[in-house]
Chains A and B, each alone.
Chain A
Amino acid sequence: MSGPVIQLDHIAKVYRSGEVEVHAVRRATLDIQRGEFVAIMGSSGSGKSTLMNILGCLDRPTGGRYLLDGVNVAELSRAQLATLRNLKLGFVFQSFHLLARTTALENVELPMFYSKPLIPLRTQRKRAIEALKKVGLGDRLGHRPSQLSGGQQQRIAIARALVNEPELVLADEPTGNLDSRTSIGIMGFFQELNDTGITIVMVTHELDIASYCKRIIVMRDGLVISDTPNESRRNAGEERLKLDTAEQNANLA
């Protein structure tokens, strides 16, 4: 298919807490094409996370129309949404959301457990190992999240998001819990992924993280207030070099 991966048409989300109505997202209308790398920015309470949940089919909008890969999500049952998440979407969360006391390998296998049609266990294992190798954790298969650093844990989460070869990767503040050096590493991964053609939508409130993306959408009070291509896109590899040089200089001084 050649149409946009995501088409939002006047999407709204209203929370009702007692008498008060909270408009988390208002009239969001935008298309995201295949191969894009989009950052959704905004301060907390701007509605960016709610929009993300709607994009991830974890939450349903209260108004408007959302077509994912041309399919109207509102018409799908809970079970069909689960299948959609399983096969077309990959999630990366701020707090990693890995299963504790479970090995890296088993964590990456998790989405394939629920795939339909069923994936043979041997294939599951093989694909999980490949995905972990791709994120540079081929030698950490049997480690548990508690035995790994934050950056390594987030790379397991990325491997898990990729293992079912999704159309779209959704990342919610993926670097929020990481130091700047590790953040650059993670952004480098996303850039490499994007280069292979995978569409990525990322929520962040940090401008320098957003600057690695190709397009930046800014939200405030539930409204999309700007949607512009990122002219001065940074490259994670170069930034890494710059950081290394800066540190060396600091050491010399």
Chain B
Amino acid sequence: MFNFLQSLILRPLLSSMIALRALRRNKLRSVLTALGIIIGVCSVVVMVSVGNGAQVRIETEVSSLGQNLLIVFAGNRRSGGVNSGLGSASRITLEDAHALKREIPDIAGLSPEVSTNAQAIANGKNWSTTISGQAPDFTTIRNWKIAGGTMFSEREVRSAAKVAVIGSKTANELFGPVNPIGKSVRIKNTPFVIIGLFESKGAGMGGQNQDDQIVIPYTTAMKRLTGDKYPRLLSIQVVSADRMETARQQITSLLRQRHRLAPDDVNDFNIFDQKELSDKVASISGIITTLLGAIAGMSLLVGGIGIMNIMLVSVTERTREIGIRVAVGAQAGDILMQFLIESITLSLLGGTIGVLAGVGISKAVSLFADFQAVISPGSVILAFSVSFAIGVFFGFYPARKAAKLDPIDALRYE
């Protein structure tokens, strides 16, 4: 039992002592060798945590576009192929919109949208902004909160009232710190009364500012500003995530029926699922994270080869030392253990410093970038155990070479 304990614990402990002494004797070289692993581990940790952080950021952004969102818009007319029949012009009409909302119970909210860019004039200033015609459901569908005043009502939509709800950025440009509610804004010579103010959402994807907009009833927008007879698209919120597919099918069949499409006709409209986008974005950013991690992993491999290189040099350089040790009674196993522990120590040292540096750099990135790097314990543990494995793997060959040396040749080696 005691013998067993000796060979399992005390022997390796002694070997570690010898190994540590050897590493201490060559401080600069040890540090430089570990540097390969430090950089490798550090870049794995940074890449993965920054990648994860970016992914989380993108996902929250996509979901801020609205929950369970379907967007219906008119399809392109097919040129060539099947000739579309009379009256199948690719349009989504307001009647379509009303029918959808009336007949499909899974639709929680629906907003026909028209939009244009126009100069808004108020308070003696003018500002070019997006004018968006929407239904009252717009706030719930697109996740907008009202900071002051109210959203316009269904009645104001029906009467094509000249009322507007204004984005925080636009309000700031036109009115500065003054409360805009109750004030008047002129858009294309039509005066609108501002009845509400949106809460700020911050910059959206692609850098366009979501807070720079004026939302008015779609009826007013079509009649007064754009002259459109049809909405550009319909934003539809489905009651819950698990009803998305049913809702989509119901919308499809109702629109096909209303557009009088034959069973073999292709849809003359498109339904776009917000979830599809977010899934796609998530999978792309996942791929990018994996790719970055793989590149970083490559540098870990290079670091491992660096360790092997230095260990081989070290074995050659210390041939006489090995000879002396063998002459005074070291077993092949003792020598193997000594060199293996040296390489493992180097790589674990590198791993530890690398993880610390990686976490530090990730935190620094979080300070400067507009997203939080997410340090996953998984990547830290992975990087650490990989560096250990590298120590064993790349240390084994040189260590075995050392252990196999013939004592006489080793002693004579100059």
Contact = CB atoms under 8 A, between A and B. Distances in A.
Interface of A: 53, 56, 58-59, 78-79, 82-83, 85-87, 91, 93, 97-102, 106, 110-111, 113-115, 117-118, 160, 164
Contacts of B329: 82-83, 85-87, 111, 114-115, 164
A58 to B, nearest CB: 5
Interface string B1-17: 00100100011001000
Contacts of A118: 6, 10-11, 14
A56 B324 contact: no
B327 A97 contact: yes
A101 B327 contact: no
B183 interface: no
B411 A86 contact: no
B330 interface: yes
Contacts of A78: 331-332
A147 B261 CA distance: 100
B337 to A, nearest CB: 11
Given A79-B332, A83-B331, 13 more contacts: A58-B408, A79-B331, A85-B327, A87-B329, A97-B323, A106-B21, A113-B14, A113-B330, A114-B329, A114-B330, A114-B331, A114-B334, A115-B329
A156 to B, nearest CB: 12
A146 B325 CA distance: 19
Contacts of B146: none
Contact of B328 (A79, A91, A106): A91
Interface of B: 3, 6, 10-11, 14, 18, 21, 25, 320-321, 323-334, 407-408, 411
A99 B324 contact: yes
Contact of A82 (B3, B25, B330): B330
A116 to B, nearest CB: 8
A59 B331 contact: no
B324 A97 contact: yes
B324 A110 contact: yes
A97 B327 CA distance: 10
A110 B332 contact: no
A83 B332 CA distance: 11
B6 A117 contact: yes
Contacts of A106: 21
A117 B3 contact: yes
Contacts of B407: 58
A160 B323 CA distance: 15
A96 B269 CA distance: 92
Interface centre among B3, B14, B323 (most CB of A within 10 A): B14
Nearest to B15: A113
A239 B87 CA distance: 129
Contacts of B330: 82, 86, 113-114
Contacts of A117: 3, 6
Nearest to A56: B327
Contacts of A99: 321, 324
B328 A110 contact: yes
B413 to A, nearest CB: 11
Contacts of B10: 118
Given A86-B329, A91-B328, A59 B408 contact: yes
Contacts of A98: 324
Contact of A97 (B6, B14, B25, B320): B320
What 8 A-B pairs are tightest by C-beta distance, nearest first?
A86-B329, A111-B328, A114-B329, A114-B330, A85-B329, A82-B331, A58-B407, A97-B324
Contacts of B334: 113-114
A36 B163 CA distance: 119
A59 B411 CA distance: 12
Contact of B18 (A56, A111, A113, A160): A113
B26 to A, nearest CB: 9
A123 to B, nearest CB: 13
Contacts of A93: 411
16 contacts: A53-B408, A59-B408, A79-B331, A82-B330, A83-B331, A85-B329, A86-B329, A106-B21, A110-B328, A111-B328, A113-B14, A113-B334, A114-B328, A114-B330, A118-B6, A118-B14
Interface centre among A79, A97, A115, A160 (most CB of B within 10 A): A97
B258 to A, nearest CB: 90
B375 to A, nearest CB: 40
Contacts of B18: 113
Nearest to A79: B331
B30 to A, nearest CB: 14
A23 to B, nearest CB: 18
Interface centre among A53, A78, A113, A117 (most CB of B within 10 A): A113
B327 A114 contact: no
A18 to B, nearest CB: 18
A160 B328 CA distance: 9
Contacts of B25: 101-102
Interface centre among A79, A82, A86, A97 (most CB of B within 10 A): A82
Contacts of B324: 97-99, 110
Nearest to B24: A101
A101 B26 CA distance: 10
B328 A86 contact: yes
Contacts of A113: 14, 18, 330, 334
A93 B412 CA distance: 11
A54 B90 CA distance: 100
A113 B25 CA distance: 19
Contact of B325 (A59, A101, A114): A114
A86 B327 CA distance: 8
A118 B324 CA distance: 19
Nearest to B334: A114
Contacts of A79: 331-333
